[in-house]
Amino acid sequence: MSIVRERFLRYAQVETTSCEANECCPSTPGQKVLGEMLVRDLQALGVKDARMDEHGYVYGSVPAKGAVSAPAIGLIAHMDTSDAVPGATRPQIIPSYDGSVIRLENGVEISGFDFLSGLKGQELIVTSGDSVLGADDKAGVAEIVTLCERLLAPDAPDHGKICVGFTPDEEIGRGADLFDVKGFGADYAYTVDGGALGELEYECFNAASCRVGVKGVSIHPGDAKNRMINASLVAMEFARMLPPWERPEHTEGYEGFYHLTGMSGNEEAAELRYILRDHDAGKLEEKKAAVLAARDWLNRRYGEGTVTVDLRDSYRNMKEIVEQYPEILERAKKAFLDNGVEPLVQPIRGGTDGARLSFMGLPCPNLSTGGYNFHGRKELIPVPALEKMVDVLVSLVSLN
């Protein structure tokens, strides 16, 4: 029985969806439930300093073996899951994928993805079709815990000090807010939060959030001529003023986007919620300027104060920091190659805790977990990829 598989299945069933509307940390109580489970698991393995702080961050370390002067390497994953779809996960097992259309328990089908042909014959963990699976990032959590078990075994390879950390609220951009970089004790780190096996990422988006508020004038529709300002319709005008070809569904690679994540409203008041993303910092500023220009045009049309915009920076492209430490990238490439995995160096079309941690003094590129289709009901992870990533992490920290 695969140990990392069993750990992942246990962790995946804990409801840890984060919630941006809640200002507390962690934003949802289930994250502390998982944190307490992880502390117990780590302590049972022999991680004597495993602990969870009052904010739900879990820390621990494995002492050096054979070379106390080696750099202290950190490994980080997040405990929360995306709120894009429900998070009450009931993982399902496909013992040996036959290459055909995958029909989930509730009728959702997984087909048409190029990667599926390469998974034929493998054991897959999928969802019931009612929720995310949580491989983002409980696969990374399970892989790191299993690494600790391997390093604490009598036959473990020599290694420096290994620092592990599990964060709350990464999916809502707060995972690094209260991370104790100094107390963590690593010289550099890796987040284990990527997708397909072999991914190695050190470039990410520059990111901002945007809330657009619209104040309307509600009048009985029978008397509305030249008097009503329908806030919901003004919000729709705003949305149409942003270029449709710069939405996530029309972009790839280094192309940035405006992404409408939520909306609400009636005649009197409406709100649009966006995230803005671009690998190029200058182009992100252009997107912010476009949002403000749309606000100003609508206010000239409907009256000052009709539309308000709240822009907030979220994180920056970690390339600016990580590229100053090429040795940590080479170490990751070698770990993949030593285990027969071709490194896939590519930009992240998203962000990780490592983006902000890199600017907090902890250089932190991102490694794969082995999963696919994150943030949706069609999320899945092959069990061989879970197992292989543990081998990669062992090689990553070993002195050889």
Is residue 314 very low, low, confident or very high in pLDDT (cuts 50, 70, 90)? confident
Q: Please check whether the two domains, 3-203+317-397 and 206-315, share a CATH topology.
A: no
CATH class of 3-203+317-397: alpha beta
Which residues carry out catalysis? 80, 170
pTM of the predicted model over 0.85: yes
CATH for the stretch 206-315: 3.30.70.360
pLDDT at 179 over 80: yes
Helix, strand, or coil (residue 360)? coil
Tokens representing residue 88 in the block: 């009450």
- The predicted structure's pLDDT at residue 364: 97
8 A C-beta contact, residue 71 and residue 59: no
Domain boundaries, the chain: 3-203+317-397, 206-315
CA distance 17 to 140: 16
pLDDT tens digits, 35-83: 999 999 999 999 999 999 999 999 999 999 987 689 999 999 999 999 9
The answer for residues whose C-beta is within 8 angstroms of residue 263's C-beta and 6 or more apart is 235, 270, 271, 272, 273
Tokens representing residue 275 in the block: 């995230």
pLDDT tens digits, 107-161: 999 999 999 999 999 999 999 999 999 999 999 999 999 999 999 999 999 999 9
